[in-house]
Amino acid sequence: MTLQEIFITNLKKTRKERGVSQMALSRMCDTTSNYIGQIEMGRRIPSFEKIEEIAAALEIPSYKLFAHHMEETKEEKKLDTREYLKKMPAAVKKEIISHFLAEMNMDIKASLDSQNY
Report if pTM > 0.85.
no
Is the Cβ–Cβ distance between 7 and 14 less than 8 Å? no
What's the CA gap between 25 and 99, in Å, rounded? 22
DSSP state of 85: H
What is the structure's pLDDT at 80?
Answer: 64
Between 2-6, 36-40, 86-90, 113-117, the lowest mean confidence (pLDDT) is in 113-117
Nearest to 39 by CA among 77, 15, 4: 4
What's the CA gap between 94 and 85, in Å, rounded? 11
Confidence label for 15 from pLDDT (cuts 50, 70 and 90): very high
Residue range 70-116, pLDDT digits in tens: 545 555 555 566 677 777 788 888 888 898 899 999 988 888 887 76
**Alpha carbon of residue 85 to chain centroid:** 16
Q: Does domain 3-114 have CATH number 1.10.260.40?
A: yes
